[in-house]
Structure 1
């Protein structure tokens, strides 16, 4: 069955982000990443080691052994926990799910390091391989690795499943043999059950570039041997790693006495940038005041000075990529209303605004209040003393944070300066829309030209939309899975019809109103063509105190399905869908979300999400949706789940921008658990301007 992961973004953004993710050399030689094996995780070849990659390392491994190709994406979620997603293609594989003699398989791994390596103690890791897939690669293990001399490491472990499929020395009960099913549900009844075999190996790195390794693997390759010319003649495998200066790894193998293998692993360190420092222009220096300037209030009797100060500040901020929309000024204080156009890290915009204020405002103005606004909503009010800005310019940003207050912006924003609205913006450029995991063609894509435009009638009222025209592509050929549950309407599985007939297409056309109904409250109402498949009305209310890690929201939508040509027509299918949501910032960049409600197909359930975000804007996460649609009704995959990545465009370039490429990898796209694809939900718009998030990125205040 096909699995579709559709993503719409500017082509330049997507290609640049993916290229830099794969090619950026961020693994320093002095912090060398351990060897990765054929399964795209720390290992020798087919067997794991107990080592972990450095925290926040994202790796992509392309591996080939005989008739099997494996592509694995792994992420070091914490220093001791890592996870992997694998997509494999097995040729000459006899299985009912094979297409053209090729069987495509998806699997997930999870590893936890029980013990780190000490002077006498080995590192010890427990792992689940293919714990929620079809079971083709299913295995569990307990493994230890110890450095016994510089560059020389020994590994030994116990394996179940594939790692225990020959020469077992013990058993821990009967292991269920059902594999290659619908997949998607953790196979609890198999874990650490069945035959147990020992595996092990040795590696030696004479220098930072080369590593020699040998392993003893008891994976019998039962399914592969049965359907191909592969003959497993020996349990011994041998390999060679070559680590490039960039930190990426090329490996060559001779496996099981019969075949050869090769793998290439690209490492991306999300905490680091491929561009040292920043390519932004230097910020304006703070302008100190004299004692006489601090005491002079004579300017307050001359309105032209206030107007001149506003014009000077507006011009300075415009050069910094910040729009001044309003200002309240008196003898001792100034409150400015600003819109951050350029900076992905909000404190950088706040810091540059404060610097400009020291240069443009009269010397007697001591108290600064900076109110950032998004879609007319005053999200917070950042209060500081001018004298602190002057005194701490050359100190650590944390010193300035200690002197700053971040409070609710409700009722604090100055009135908008006349003439700023209405405002019209537009853009034209290439656009890439793609799908993956269709067994008939694992990767399909459309290249479109896309026009986007927004007409802001007032700060809170925005008319916006996008129109696209296909240039080339084969996305319309994505396989449509057969209906497995007549009780579930085809709310997403007819995606290919939209891709085929929507040329040209109105991607979206909405009128949205954003508001602040009260303290700690934010609201949105959108009406129109909300996304490529649905039109209607979407409403949302969010409760999010400025100093709280917790946010609560309610979303309610009434939608009708659009015609396949994605123009103005509507089909008869309609739905009421909505959710109650809870958001929580766990700290250290971890963000959790729970949505409970009714989905597009009328099924009820919940979506659980967990993301880790870094100070440079990178974000990696996963989600899973469970509804009252049964696994049988859902079909292959059993329930909706996926991985998602946000790649900031400032990361590869070193130049500040608010642009980002968002990519979602879904193991499947079915009708159960489907929700609207809205791009203007409130929480992510609001939270980056609140205290927990600004505290995490405050280090950029002086940049």
Structure 2
């Protein structure tokens, strides 16, 4: 009968309509996802050669590259912050034009740092069929603004004809009407190489002749039309060649990769598979002694990348309650840790245990707990309860207070590691020194960390500089000497003094004091420049999007070598004379945190006093991506009154945090971090005091 029904269904008009509808859906999806090749211009903004388009890179796309645009050399990077926002940065070198102040001292050709931003106002995904994409952009919107422009641009794609057209209007360096067109004639063929080539033409509206910041060799224009081609290989490598101003040839090469959405360069085949077997529900007793069960459970957790530090069995409340304390040393996402835990418990919890509470700890502080009923675990193991259902009945909760060793039976206990040794290479760089555009130090850092008395965290870090180009650099900015206490502008001196140095040596202790409150106390040498004592109090409830805390530290400034401290540090008075003042650094802050999950944005505000005794606020905005990539921008507004080039300067900069496991075949909690300020100044400076409580807890709870 079942076979007959299937045959009748397949032969009915209803089945024909179903397949027609499915084919239509497939056709619509193909049209929605079909796009012409996307290109970056010579400023690494989505566009053509020198002009922008309204198209945007995908969220999480990261691009780096270089361009020769006579008479400039341009090095740049681009990040798709959202599908509607792209940020790019350029380092533009004026070839053959010495920097007026320090060009003959080793700096060489003049150079400028440029920041660009573009906002998508109307995008294809908005559903206005037939309308072009529309964007608004700002070129060189921060800093000296020598190449600043603002513009509106509209772009229309005709995928059927493999053709794209843009028309826009700008003011500033881009002056008046501009446009561009792309044709990819072999896109829909299978001809190797040719299918990846696009022919591009644009009308260049840059005001080369009259714009004040232009290179003196780049003002002549014979023809406003630029023509050329671009080759895009595997959505990764872009090569571009074109005419420029009717006089020169320009070209660029860039690499792009979806760093924000990637699952990694390699499959995570070195990760253990989620636990499934063997399944053992045997009750505790002679056939399954408690100590043997606890030992087997600890081994099983360790195989999954989780370390158990304690197991208690409590029978004092009339039921049998298992308490487990675990540390996650491998996975970045909370849901991955939870999945590993519940798979293990669903297969190995004894039938005479009524419930299990697992507490997750990090850096010696307990972050949160899960409490599972055994009956729910068994339902989950049999496939009668889904993972979302189990998460509903056993959610992440505040840390549950475990019974003492006197109230419960201790089945297993493991001390925290007394020491762990790591070593890795390190690159430190500085931009804009008078004797050269780029200075660096290549070396090795080695650290040892662990726990004393199973509770007090310690860290020792030493550094060895193998090769450095920073010797002889001065810590004084001759054009814009800092008029406030020199708490950071002498940072380069710490990497010049000795090839071997002790950078960190400190102790720290974290406490969970209950009801969402946490406390931290630390003391020692926190970083190459400062040592002292610090404390922090944080309110961060479980499953909360906000947190608030206070912190304070008293620090002394370290000497450039050895373990001693300066009693006085310099500053320049209004007459430009260097004077020394007694110095004990005091920094204190009210810290506010908010995680806006709908847009994957984190915000942080630190309100208080900074190292140079200036008072104000530091604001940090962080965009985090599915891959674990984080991109941060910060600005600091204080009453320090520091001036650069005649204008009051507020510290600002950016940071990347790249998950190291993108490059590995297994999961890792390690990040590669790079941060840079616009200028190395003393205003808004903060001394490191160890890992903050918010970062410690956030990394355990983030999904």
Q: What's 2:27 paired with?
A: none
- Do structure 1's residue 621 and structure 2's residue 621 form an aligned pair? no
Q: What's 2:306 paired with?
A: 322
Whether the 8 Å CA contact 1:379–1:410 is kept in 2: the answer is no
Q: What's 1:200 paired with?
A: 179
Aligned mate of 2:206, from 182, 195, 219: 219
Q: What's 2:233 paired with?
A: 244
Aligned mate of 2:656, from 629, 645, 654: 645
Where 1:228 maps in the other structure, the secondary structure is helix
Q: CA deviation at 1:72?
A: 2.1
- Do structure 1's residue 561 and structure 2's residue 557 form an aligned pair? yes
Aligned mate of 1:46, from 21, 46, 50: 50
Distance 1:109 1:125 in 2: 13
Structure 1: 5+ residue runs without aligned partners? 1-28, 165-196, 698-703
Distance 2:403 2:59 in 1: 41
Q: CA deviation at 1:638?
A: 2.1
Aligned length: 625
Whether the 8 Å CA contact 1:476–1:496 is kept in 2: the answer is no
Whether the 8 Å CA contact 2:308–2:414 is kept in 1: the answer is no
Whether the 8 Å CA contact 1:542–1:683 is kept in 2: the answer is yes
Q: CA deviation at 1:356?
A: 2.7
* Structure 1 residues 142-291: aligned runs within 5 Å: 142-148=152-158, 149-164=160-175, 197-206=176-185, 207=187, 209-222=196-209, 227-228=216-217, 231-269=220-258, 270-275=260-265, 277-279=267-269, 280-285=271-276
Q: CA deviation at 1:470?
A: 1.4
Indicate the larger mover: 69-78 or 666-675. 69-78
Where 1:43 maps in the other structure, the secondary structure is coil
Distance 2:97 2:414 in 1: 68
Distance 1:383 1:569 in 2: 50
Q: Which whole-Å deviations, capped at 9, do the CAs of 1:52-73 have from their partners, x for residues lacking one? A: 1112212223222012122222
Whether the 8 Å CA contact 1:97–1:103 is kept in 2: the answer is no
Residues 355 and 65 of structure 1: CA distance in aligned 2, closer, same or farther (over 3 Å) = same
Q: What's 2:38 paired with?
A: 34
Aligned mate of 1:82, from 75, 80, 86: 86
Q: What's 1:430 paired with?
A: 425
Whether the 8 Å CA contact 1:505–1:567 is kept in 2: the answer is no
Q: What's 2:295 paired with?
A: 311
Where 2:415 maps in the other structure, the secondary structure is coil
- Do structure 1's residue 604 and structure 2's residue 620 form an aligned pair? no
Distance 1:496 1:244 in 2: 41
Whether the 8 Å CA contact 2:466–2:499 is kept in 1: the answer is no
Residues 426 and 151 of structure 1: CA distance in aligned 2, closer, same or farther (over 3 Å) = same
Residues 224 and 543 of structure 1: CA distance in aligned 2, closer, same or farther (over 3 Å) = closer
Where 2:696 maps in the other structure, the secondary structure is helix
Residues 523 and 339 of structure 1: CA distance in aligned 2, closer, same or farther (over 3 Å) = same
Residues 329 and 32 of structure 1: CA distance in aligned 2, closer, same or farther (over 3 Å) = farther
Bigger radius of gyration:
2
Q: What's 2:547 paired with?
A: 551
Q: What's 1:674 paired with?
A: 685
Whether the 8 Å CA contact 2:345–2:377 is kept in 1: the answer is no
Where 1:651 maps in the other structure, the secondary structure is helix
Indicate the larger mover: 480-489 or 656-665. 480-489
Q: What's 1:16 paired with?
A: none
* Structure 1 residues 479-628: aligned runs within 5 Å: 479-482=474-477, 484=480, 487-572=483-568, 573-587=583-597, 588-628=599-639
Q: What's 1:701 paired with?
A: none
RMSD: 2.7
Distance 2:647 2:37 in 1: 36
Whether the 8 Å CA contact 2:612–2:684 is kept in 1: the answer is yes
Q: CA deviation at 1:490?
A: 1.0
Distance 2:473 2:37 in 1: 38
Q: What's 1:467 paired with?
A: 462
Q: What's 1:7 paired with?
A: none
Q: CA deviation at 1:442?
A: 3.1
Q: Which whole-Å deviations, capped at 9, do the CAs of 1:397-425 have from their partners, x for residues lacking one? A: 44443343111116348779556156222
Residues 145 and 405 of structure 1: CA distance in aligned 2, closer, same or farther (over 3 Å) = same
Distance 2:396 2:311 in 1: 18
Residues 590 and 414 of structure 1: CA distance in aligned 2, closer, same or farther (over 3 Å) = farther
Whether the 8 Å CA contact 1:485–1:634 is kept in 2: the answer is no
Structure 2: 5+ residue runs without aligned partners? 1-32, 188-194, 569-582
Ranked by relative contact order (alpha carbons within 8 Å, sequence separation 6 or more), the top structure is: 1
Distance 1:491 1:634 in 2: 20
Where 1:517 maps in the other structure, the secondary structure is strand
Distance 1:38 1:430 in 2: 33
Distance 1:598 1:556 in 2: 9
Indicate the larger mover: 425-434 or 205-214. 425-434
Indicate the larger mover: 389-398 or 215-224. 389-398
Q: What's 1:106 paired with?
A: 113
Whether the 8 Å CA contact 1:81–1:112 is kept in 2: the answer is yes
Q: Which whole-Å deviations, capped at 9, do the CAs of 1:201-235 have from their partners, x for residues lacking one? A: 21112215111111111213245765227632111
Whether the 8 Å CA contact 2:41–2:48 is kept in 1: the answer is yes
Q: What's 1:657 paired with?
A: 668
Q: What's 1:354 paired with?
A: 342
Q: CA deviation at 1:476?
A: 3.8
TM-score by length of 1: 0.83
TM-score by length of 2: 0.83
Residues 476 and 458 of structure 1: CA distance in aligned 2, closer, same or farther (over 3 Å) = farther
